[in-house]
A and B are shown apart, each in its own frame.
Chain A
Amino acid sequence: MRIALAGNPNSGKSTLFNALTGLRQTVGNWPGVTVEKKVGILKTDKETEVVDLPGLYSIDPYSPEEIVSWNYLKSGEADVVLNIVDGTNLERNFMFTSEIAELGLPMVVALNFYDRVKKFGDEIDIEKLSAWLGCPVIPISALKNDGIAELIDAAKKAAKEKTKPNVFKIDIKDEKDLSQTDRQSAVIEARFKVIDENLPKIVKRKDRFSVSKTAKIDKILTNKWLAFPIFAAIIFAVYFVSVSSLGAFLTDLFSENLFGDEGFFITSSRAWLTAIGCAPWLVGLIVDGIIAGVGAVLSFVPQIIILFFLLSILEQCGYMARIAFVFDKIFRFFGLSGKTLIPMLIGTGCGVPAIMATKSINGERERRLAVMTTTFMPCSAKIPVIALISSAIFGGAWWVAPLAYFIGIFAILLSGLILKNFKAFKKTESSFMMELPEYQLPTLGKVLNSTLYQALEFVKKAGTIILLAVVGVWFLSSFGFAGGKFGFVETEQSLLATLGKLLSWVFVPLGFGDWRETVAVMTGLIAKENIISTMEILFPAGIATALSASAGFSFLIFNLLCAPCFAAIGAIKREMHSAKWFWFAIGYQCLFAYVAALIVYWLSRAGATVLVSIIVLAILGLVIYYIIRSKKSGRVIGCANGCAGCELRDACHPKKEIK
């Protein structure tokens, strides 16, 4: 049997999906389009498949994501539709329910957040509701696992008996005169009308305002004066715990004791392999290549687990949505959405989930911009690179690490300014309509579940892509032509060195044109922390001997901003859904990094004072330019297109309207 799970975003759909299937899920794409498709097997019955459809507010036949859901439901592959609705927000949820009902498939409604409904003091007459909708209605709490067994029974029964739900009687005035799109809007209005007429007979609702604590909490968290200090304090706390104190401690513990030169795995596997008589080159491959390489990546797992644990708490208690709300106006100035801040925050942990998190940004332009620029944030793998440059070249100066984060933020905002004027970006629309969910205490189970899921994804990548790349680099750096024949050689004569020498001219203008630095940049594409291990191998005397302060700075900037590691590049490819956009993104990142490093290198050679004054002047100039420009074009409210020739001009200028 097959159950299709459908419902609004924020209705608890993924929580229910996890409750039904546990961790036995496969994520793939829908045939023909790259929209995520999640399929799981029912925990209690291995014969039953659950298909998670994308969360939707209604079916819009113009969006590829929504057509996928629609076609799947129409194909009849599902035996029953499980429609999950937010019990505290029935009108909007039932709008979608009424659309699904028209398919004529057996349906069961899962009335989620029923515990909260009771807490609010709302009274829902389940029997009447079920009679009105013409299908079983089961009150559940997906989070607390309440009512799940009843829900499964009801779904199975409905599938067997093939009972069809009631279809709303919709009447639209003057239907013939309406265009296709006007008709669509009229249908939505009519559906709400039917709901508004019937629901008061079924539900008695208390004034939500007096019972919900959310409004009171928001008075503090999104308060005019407190919002920004509170945000800064929370973010500082998150990074203090996950990156600097506890996280750094655990990572050091892992890397030194398990995967370091004298670490447990390294010494014991070397001893064991030598004891069983392995050839020295094979010992080298396994120990120095695979174990050390994959181990370097795995050492970040504790840091990533802590970071994701804390970020997932912020997500689930409802604070993330408020961050987007508070920062939207600032980001919009740069052509970005306030929601961009969420991937940016996650991106300080790892770029892969950060790029995946851009899904929640609903404007196509803003989403693409976010995918392109998120990895400018220094991820946890770039921290060791920053630390290396900071200690080897700047004597461990405290300002290098914060500067790296500022450079990341600055690069994202600047890219917004540059790219929003591109033709391809100008056309698409943006929107910031977003539900601000009720605040809720996150449950440990749900937080752990999402943390483990993300950590597992990271480990999987370390075990596949990175493993292959590590073996490849080890091969390239250990083999080469020496004395006229191909074989095991020192790094200086290896294939990798040859490749580095072939490409190193590219980086001469940036101040680091030595082949060894080129090789480090290339190995950084596999995983950014490879840069350090490569540098350490290739510069036994320390990198300070090879790089001047200016060149070191330029080297750092280039590696912070250029194309991310292969795992993140893969994520960009998946999210862009188009080869053209993917190559544009990668090309843009590399070009941006190149130009930034070039400017920094030559300016810093000119002296620190000159550098600082030019940067300050440049920022000031940009700000003034954009203020004048936005005044000139009269963008009072701030859509990206400007008002000249816009047919909606009047709507943007309410004052004129009143006159």
Chain B
Amino acid sequence: MLLNGVAVGQRARIISVNGPEALKHHILEMGLTPDTEVFVMAKAPLGDPLQLFVRGYQLSMRAAEAAFIEVKPKEGGK
């Protein structure tokens, strides 16, 4: 599934990052590399962008950008 489809409060593990070169590069350099765990903290009041917790810091990202990240959701999560 894609990261923009992960529900708020769920954790997921990144499988792969795709997208246009510049964007893919930027996603990776922000630390969203394969095998990294991402926690979807919240969504902005209007439903987009997403607020993510990754590698110990908070990152906001539009759903359109998150749609380039393929993930495997984890059961449970807080």
Contacts and interface: CB of A to CB of B under 8 A. Distances in A.
Contact of B46 (A92, A208, A209, A329): A329
Nearest to B22: A429
Contacts of B27: 433
A184 B25 contact: yes
A654 B67 contact: yes
Contacts of B57: 86, 88-89, 92, 435
B56 interface: yes
Contacts of A638: 48, 62, 64
A130 B22 CA distance: 33
Interface string B1-38: 11011000000000001111111111111110111100
Given A326-B45, A433-B59, A637 B51 contact: no
Contacts of A215: 41, 53, 58
Contact of B45 (A92, A227, A433, A648): A227
A325 B44 contact: yes
Among B4, B48, B67, residue most surrounded by chain A Cβ atoms (within 10 Å): B67
B49 to A, nearest CB: 5
A223 interface: yes
B2 A637 contact: no
25 contacts: A57-B30, A58-B25, A90-B56, A91-B31, A91-B56, A185-B17, A185-B24, A189-B28, A192-B36, A209-B39, A214-B58, A222-B51, A329-B47, A431-B65, A433-B26, A433-B30, A433-B65, A436-B58, A637-B4, A648-B20, A648-B68, A651-B19, A652-B67, A654-B2, A654-B5
B55 A431 contact: no
Contacts of A219: 42
B23 A429 contact: yes
A329 B48 contact: yes
A639 B64 contact: yes
Given A89-B55, A651-B2, A188 B33 contact: yes
A602 interface: no
Nearest to B78: A209
B31 A60 contact: no
A227 B53 CA distance: 20
A95 interface: yes
Interface of A: 57-58, 60, 62, 86, 88-92, 95, 181, 184-185, 188-189, 192-193, 196, 205, 208-209, 214-215, 218-219, 222-225, 227-228, 321, 325-326, 328-330, 332, 338, 429, 431-438, 637-639, 648, 651-652, 654, 657-658
B20 A89 contact: no
Contacts of A181: 21, 25
Contacts of A651: 2, 18-19, 67-68
A95 B31 CA distance: 8
Given A325-B49, A433-B30, A651-B2, A88 B58 contact: no
A91 B4 contact: no
Interface of B: 1-2, 4-5, 17-31, 33-36, 39, 41-42, 44-49, 51, 53, 55-65, 67-68, 78
Given A88-B57, A435-B57, A328 B51 contact: no
A325 B60 contact: yes
B28 A185 contact: yes
Nearest to B64: A637
B37 to A, nearest CB: 11
A95 B44 contact: no
A189 B34 contact: yes
B59 A434 contact: yes
B47 to A, nearest CB: 7
Contact of A189 (B5, B33, B39, B68): B33
A-B complex: 8 closest residue pairs judged by Cβ atoms: A637-B64, A329-B46, A436-B58, A58-B29, A92-B31, A188-B28, A57-B29, A227-B45
A185 B65 CA distance: 17
Given A188-B29, A338-B49, A435-B60, 13 more contacts: A58-B25, A88-B57, A91-B55, A188-B33, A189-B28, A209-B53, A224-B45, A325-B44, A325-B51, A329-B49, A438-B58, A648-B19, A651-B19
Contacts of B4: 637, 654
Contacts of B45: 222-225, 227-228, 326
Contact of A436 (B21, B23, B51, B67): B51
A60 B23 CA distance: 12
Among A181, A185, A218, A321, residue most surrounded by chain B Cβ atoms (within 10 Å): A185
A638 B64 CA distance: 7
Contacts of B55: 89, 91-92
Given A228-B45, A652-B67, A637 B28 contact: no
Contacts of A436: 51, 58-60
Among A57, A58, A431, A438, residue most surrounded by chain B Cβ atoms (within 10 Å): A431
Contacts of B51: 218, 222, 325, 436
A434 B60 contact: yes
A435 B55 CA distance: 12
A193 B59 CA distance: 20
Given A218-B51, A637-B4, A433 B46 contact: no
Contacts of B61: 432-434
B15 to A, nearest CB: 13
Contacts of A435: 30, 57-60
A185 B25 contact: yes
Contacts of A57: 26, 29-30
Contact of A218 (B33, B42, B63): B42
A72 to B, nearest CB: 20
A226 B63 CA distance: 22
Contacts of A434: 59-61
Contacts of A222: 42, 44-45, 51
Contacts of A432: 49, 60-62, 65
B26 A431 contact: yes
Contacts of B33: 188-189, 192-193
A325 B60 CA distance: 7
Contact of A657 (B2, B17, B78): B2
A92 to B, nearest CB: 4
B26 A208 contact: no
A338 B24 CA distance: 21
Nearest to A227: B45
A203 B7 CA distance: 31
A228 to B, nearest CB: 7
A418 B44 CA distance: 26
Contacts of B25: 58, 60, 181, 184-185, 188
